[in-house]
Amino acid sequence: MPSARTALLGFAFLPCLLQAARQPSEKQAQQLKSLTLEQLGNVEVTTQSKEPTEVWNTPAAIYVLTGEDIRRSGVTSVPDALRLVPGVNVFRVNGSRNWAIGIRGLADQFSKYVLVLIDGRTVYTPLFGGVWWTINNVMLEDIDRIEVIRGPGGTIWGADAVNGVINIVTKHSQDTKGALISSGGGNVDQNTEDLRYGSEHQGWTWRADAFGFVRGPEYHIQNQPNYDWSRDGQIGFRLDHDTPSNQFTLQGDAYWGKFGDAQRLSTYNPPAAFISYKSTNVSGGNLRTRWRRVFKNKSDVYIQAFWSHDHRTGSNFGEDRNTFDFDFLHRFPASAHQQFTYGFGIRLSPSTVSETIATNVFDPADKTDSIYSAFVQEELRIVPDKLSLTIGTKLEHNNYTGFEYQPNARLLFTPTDKFSAWAAVSRAVRTPDRLDEDIRVDVFAFSPPPVFARVVGNHNLLPERLVAFEGGFRTLVHPRFYVSASGFYNAYRNLIAQGALKLSPTPTPPFSPGTIVYDLQFANGIHGSTVGGEISPDWRATSFWRVRPGLAYLNLDLKDEPGFTDTATLKTLRGSSPAYSAFVQSDIDLPHHFEFDQSFRYVDSLPAQSVRAYTTADARIGWNPTKRLSLSLTGQNLFQPHHAEFGIDPPPTVLIKRGAYAKLVWSY
Amino acid sequence: MQPEPLTEPLRFSRNRRGRPFWTFAATRAVAVAMLLAAIPAIVLAASPSKPSEYDVKAAYLLNFGKFVRLTTPASPRSSFDICTLGHDSMDSSLDVLAVNFKIGDLPVHISHLSDISGTKFCAIVFISATERDRIHEDLAILGSTDVLTVSDAPDFLQHGGMIQFVLISNHVRFAVNLDAVSRTHLVLSSELLRVASSVSGRPPTGGLP
């Protein structure tokens, strides 16, 4: 289409035309000299394209999403923000269910290969080895940054950090003083209210916040009820006290939520299946404390403890879980060329599953998951400031598989301050969870005679294992152009899969006589490898226009282990990771304090989920008329009235709607 | 990976082909509109241009000289020396701005050092974030000398630095650690402290108003 091509060409040449004329002039820089200190503090500046120093020296594929990136993108939740990280696959299943999020493939609603932390507190649940994104909400204005490490983080973070780690870091309370009110609404994110107040007293800084949202259903075809609405409210606080050698933090949250749902459930008597539209109720809270002390000899000690409680009741099951965690870390220089880090941790998580329907059972109903871990790591500076080698391992004992070890070795090469390259080999392990081991679900298939499938856990599962070979580089090609790229080869073994149907001998009650039952048991049935890479340039085209494209590629080569014959899970895994995904973000600062931000994204098809490849975009216009007030209008998923992202059970697939919302933020 | 296990794992009706839910022309129209909208936006935006963060940090460094006093008499100087340790964009910004700049009647002289031993004669030292792990050592050496230490490295104040640049919503501000200043004969003017985004530590007794 000619006009699209012309538009693209014009778009490409424009920065070149403008660049020469728009450099900040030397005359303007000289004028800065005559400003007072106070006036200097009021000058708005452009920052360099380069990543923060911490990222530059990290021998891993780390990507940092800053709070400012999140604000400009107009996203309304953390999972939506993660779409802007190359290598992270994010699929919205419907308006109220858990998101399917994966790093470097293998995304699923019950994704087990990504570890998620909020301020160092693990939010993964041992129920299914994944994260309930819907209950772990963070007020977006409180987020300082989200660090995403693509690749195994087993040594420091522990088991289940197989494909990656997502660490959500909130702002220090020193940076959130004063009042903030944010209010927004639209057609899908119907109502979002955030309130915050922070202050300081004699060196202690604190903040308290409260937020809530009402989110409407997505698009349903075929007269299906609009069941996927959600409502959530949360309150929280944070207290900090920093002195030059000590940092202390105490923070906590409490939440309540109600989510609409649709679940296909079965009954024994009469043998039948039906869809329940009973909503899910959730509530819970957490408390976390951390203390860091820096010593004169450049060593530091870090202690963290947290408690969290989560309660959930839905149509298919209910769960009450408490988690207690304690971690200790000590880092010290052993010589001019070596730094040692070691630590240990304990996590206990007692839980009770309550039965809400007889056909869904966890056996045993009560269980305490425990992890005892220790790790050690050495950083060797082979050539100071240029080449360093880090080796380490974590040793863990868990209540499912006993002892597991996760070693890794990483090399970092920084020949100049404009180029850094790294390579790593790591082993990571995912231990089975309650779903893999303790579940017993009876599913009605058809009648007559009544036929059921019984999905049953396996207490003899081996842990899933990954050995990853990765590498990457970062370079500041030009002060305004920065590129970061990484590649990986992941070798998987013992991936847990659904076994073949086995006819069960004469079924006993609760099945009625004459019922035919097929057993389906989980087993370590799949192995293979994935290969891929990510590239993310960051181009500050002019002082007011920043363009950030991103591209990720993934190739899955998985097969059944010898002797394992079922292919259902294999087909799902193969067809649920996009081969290509790409995005382009463009942020433009306009005169009179306007902002115009766009993000375009392409996601390849997911054949096993019956989802076609799609391209869509979000756009946001912001206006910050005064230091205290800011207004914005954001449109999301603009290219189509609705599009599919992931399959769901019970079908049909729910489609994600085009939406728009307006927001006002007032701060004092 | 297992399919959603709490409901039906056997996807009998899984593989229905999705119908196209959008018209091709409508998508193209929205895409073209969004791309075209960016062009006038860029043209409109072309008028203001913002200074770089290092130009503003360099301007701060030059100005700090006016707000720092020594409480003991010092040997006479012929120039006010501002030094940078480590290499980053501060070097070029400072060179450009320091031309013909005076603090009192002393001309400002800029030195770019690669080693801490050269800082003996400096009045202000800007330590680049590229010094990384050496910062603690550098500050231990400088700590008892009457040199104002400034940096934009994270945790600079915790290592014992005196002034740390911070970026708050695209504005360059600075935080001050008075405990580090009290260990020397330097005193910071209250005008500087008033403008700082945060001040920690206790001032030395008998300080200037």
Q: In whole angstroms, give the CA distance from residue A469 to residue A667.
A: 47
Q: Which residue of A has its CA nearest to B132?
A: A53
pLDDT digits (tens, 9 = 90+) for A80-123: 999 999 999 999 999 898 899 999 999 888 888 999 999 989 89
Sort out which chain A residues have CB atoms less than 8 A from B60's CB and list them. Answer: 37, 40
Q: Which residue of B has its CA nearest to A7?
A: B36
pLDDT at A20: 38
Confidence category of residue A26, pLDDT binned at 50, 70, 90: low
Q: In whole angstroms, give the CA distance from residue A367 to residue A352.
A: 7
> 10 Å Cβ neighbour count for A502?
12
Residue A21 pLDDT greater than 80, yes or no: no
Tokens of A426: 């790591």
pLDDT at A174: 83
Q: For A257, list phi and psi in degrees, rounded to 5.
A: -155, 160
What b/e string do you get for B149-162 counting C-beta neighbours within 10 Å, with b at 16 or more?
Answer: bbbbbeebbbbbbb
pLDDT at B24: 66
Sort out which chain A residues have CB atoms less than 8 A from B93's CB and list them. Answer: 29
What is the DSSP annotation of A487-499? EEEEEEEEEEEE-
Pairing of strands B124-127, B80-85: parallel
Q: In whole angstroms, give the CA distance from residue A77 to residue A83.
A: 11
Q: In whole angstroms, give the CA distance from residue A121 to residue A289.
A: 10
Is A492 within 8 Å of A530 (Cβ atoms)?
Answer: yes
Q: pLDDT higher for A405 or B41?
A: A405
What is the DSSP annotation of chain B? ----TTS--S-TTTTPPPPP-S-HHHHHHHHHHHHHHHHHHHHHHTS--PPBHHHHHHHHHHHHGGGEEESS-----SSEEEEEES-STHHHHHHHHHTT-EETTEEEEEEEESSGGGGGG-SEEEEPGGGGGGHHHHHHHHTTSS-EEEE-STTHHHHT-SEEEEEETTEEEEEEEHHHHHTSSEEE-HHHHHHSSEEES-PPTT---
Q: In whole angstroms, give the CA distance from residue A493 to residue A576.
A: 19
Q: In whole angstroms, give the CA distance from residue A322 to residue A63.
A: 32
Q: In whole angstroms, give the CA distance from residue A6 to residue A330.
A: 59
A292: distance to nearest CA of chain B, Å? 12
Question: What ipTM was assigned to the predicted interfaces of this complex?
Answer: 0.74
Sort out which chain A residues have CB atoms less than 8 A from B167's CB and list them. Answer: 45, 47
Beta bridge partners of A455: A441, A520
Is A101 within 8 Å of A107 (Cβ atoms)?
Answer: yes
B189: distance to nearest CA of chain A, Å? 12
Sort out which chain B residues have CB atoms less than 8 A from A7's CB and list them. Answer: 32, 35-36, 39
Q: Which residue of A has its CA nearest to B2?
A: A497
Task: Name, in order, each residue with C-beta under 8 angstroms of A29's C-beta and a sequence gap of 6 or more.
Answer: B51, B55, B93, B96, B97
End-to-end CA distance of chain B: 68
* Mean per-residue pLDDT over chain B, rounded: 76
Q: Does B195 touch chain A (CB under 8 A)?
A: yes
CB pairs under 8 A between A and B: 277
Tokens of A289: 């404390």
Q: Does A316 touch chain B (CB under 8 A)?
A: yes
Residue count (chain A): 668
Segment holding A14, helix H or strand E = helix A2-21
Q: pLDDT higher for A157 or A507?
A: A507
Tokens of A43: 């000058």
B49 to A543: CB separation less than 8 angstroms, yes or no: yes
A7 to B49: CB separation less than 8 angstroms, yes or no: no
Q: Does B101 touch chain A (CB under 8 A)?
A: yes
Is A196 within 8 Å of A162 (Cβ atoms)?
Answer: no
pLDDT at A619: 95
Q: Does B17 touch chain A (CB under 8 A)?
A: yes
Percent of chain A surpassing pLDDT 90: 64
A19-23: long-range contacts at Cβ-Cβ below 8 A with a sequence spacing of 24 or more?
A19/A541, A19/A542, A21/B46, A22/A542, A22/A543, A22/A544, A22/B46, A22/B49, A23/A543, A23/B49
- φ/ψ region of A592 (left if φ > 0, alpha if ψ in -120 to 50, else beta) reads left
Q: Does B40 touch chain A (CB under 8 A)?
A: no
Sort out which chain A residues have CB atoms less than 8 A from B59's CB and list them. Answer: 32-33, 35, 40
Q: Does A48 touch chain B (CB under 8 A)?
A: yes
Of A294-303, A365-374, A595-604, A605-614, the one with minimum mean pLDDT is: A294-303
Which residues 52-91 in chain B show a CB within 8 A of chain A?
52-53, 55-56, 58-60, 62-63, 67, 87-89
Q: To which residue do tokens 């009647």 refer?
A: B105
Beta bridge partners of A291: A248, A303
pLDDT at B130: 79
Q: To which residue do tokens 């193209």 refer?
A: B28
Q: Does A417 touch chain B (CB under 8 A)?
A: yes
A119: distance to nearest CA of chain B, Å? 18
A29: distance to nearest CA of chain B, Å? 6
* Mean per-residue pLDDT over chain A, rounded: 89
A30 to B97: CB separation less than 8 angstroms, yes or no: yes
pLDDT at B12: 33
B51 to A360: CB separation less than 8 angstroms, yes or no: no
List the one residue out of A213, A140, A240, A144 whose CA is nearest residue A180: A140
pLDDT at A23: 47
Q: Does A364 touch chain B (CB under 8 A)?
A: no
Sort out which chain B residues have CB atoms less than 8 A from A10's CB and list them. Answer: 39
Instruction: Mutation target for B interface from A6, A8, A25, A37: give the one with most B CBs within 10 A.
Output: A37
Q: In whole angstroms, give the CA distance from residue B61 to residue B75.
A: 22
Residue A39 CB-half CA count within 13 A: 8
Out of B8, B157, B201, closest to residue A264 by CB: B8
Burial class (CB within 10 angstroms; exposed 0-12, middle 13-18, buried 19+) of A552: buried
Q: To which residue do tokens 């035919």 refer?
A: A516
Burial class (CB within 10 angstroms; exposed 0-12, middle 13-18, buried 19+) of A446: exposed
List the one residue out of B175, B169, B182, B116 whose CA is nearest residue B150: B175
Coil/strand/helix, residue A577: coil
pLDDT digits (tens, 9 = 90+) for A196-213: 999 988 889 999 999 999
Q: Which residue of B has its CA nearest to A432?
A: B1
Pairing of strands B148-151, B106-113: unpaired
Instruction: Mutation target for B interface from A19, A25, A40: give the one with most B CBs within 10 A.
Output: A40
Instruction: Mutation target for A interface from B1, B52, B176, B195: give the one with most A CBs within 10 A.
Output: B1
Residue A369 pLDDT greater than 70, yes or no: yes
Average pLDDT of the segment spanning A532-542: 91
Is A278 within 8 Å of A265 (Cβ atoms)?
Answer: no
B113: distance to nearest CA of chain A, Å? 16
Q: Does A590 touch chain B (CB under 8 A)?
A: yes
Q: Does A363 touch chain B (CB under 8 A)?
A: no
Is B9 within 8 Å of A498 (Cβ atoms)?
Answer: yes
Residue B45 pLDDT greater than 60, yes or no: no
C-alpha angle A160/A163/A167, rounded to 5°?
75
pLDDT at B11: 36
pLDDT at A514: 84
Sort out which chain A residues have CB atoms less than 8 A from B22's CB and list them. Answer: 639-643
A439 to B6: CB separation less than 8 angstroms, yes or no: yes
Tokens of A514: 């004459």
Q: Does B35 touch chain A (CB under 8 A)?
A: yes
Sort out which chain A residues have CB atoms less than 8 A from B180's CB and list them. Answer: 244
Task: Name, in order, each residue with C-beta under 8 angstroms of A348's C-beta and a sequence gap of 6 or more.
Answer: A323, A324, A325, A368, A369, A370
One-letter amino acid of A631 = L
pLDDT at A157: 67
Average pLDDT of the segment spanning A36-53: 73
Average pLDDT of the segment spanning A270-293: 94
Residue B129 pLDDT greater than 70, yes or no: yes
Q: Which residue of A has its CA nearest to B128?
A: A53
B89 to A48: CB separation less than 8 angstroms, yes or no: yes
pLDDT at B137: 81
Out of B9, B97, B201, closest to residue A33 by CB: B97
Is A490 within 8 Å of A471 (Cβ atoms)?
Answer: no
A649 to B171: CB separation less than 8 angstroms, yes or no: no
Q: Does B13 touch chain A (CB under 8 A)?
A: yes
A15 to B42: CB separation less than 8 angstroms, yes or no: yes
Sort out which chain B residues have CB atoms less than 8 A from A652's CB and list them. Answer: 16
Sort out which chain B residues have CB atoms less than 8 A from A25's CB and list them. Answer: 49
One-letter amino acid of B129 = A
Average pLDDT of the segment spanning A617-643: 93
B156-161: long-range contacts at Cβ-Cβ below 8 A with a sequence spacing of 24 or more?
B156/B127, B157/A244, B157/B200, B158/A242, B158/A244, B158/A245, B158/A247, B158/A294, B159/A294, B159/B135, B160/A244, B160/B136, B161/B127, B161/B135
B7 to A265: CB separation less than 8 angstroms, yes or no: yes
B45 to A545: CB separation less than 8 angstroms, yes or no: yes
CA B7 → CA A273, A509, A570, A620, A651, distances in Å? 10, 21, 19, 39, 12
Q: Does B93 touch chain A (CB under 8 A)?
A: yes
B59 to A317: CB separation less than 8 angstroms, yes or no: no
Q: In whole angstroms, give the CA distance from residue A49 to residue A52.
A: 9
Q: In whole angstroms, give the CA distance from residue B42 to residue A10.
A: 11
Coil/strand/helix, residue A665: strand
pLDDT at A352: 96
Residue A244 pLDDT greater than 80, yes or no: no
Beta bridge partners of A618: A599
Sort out which chain B residues have CB atoms less than 8 A from A543's CB and list them. Answer: 49-50
End-to-end CA distance of chain A: 49
Does the predicted model carry a pTM greater than 0.80?
yes
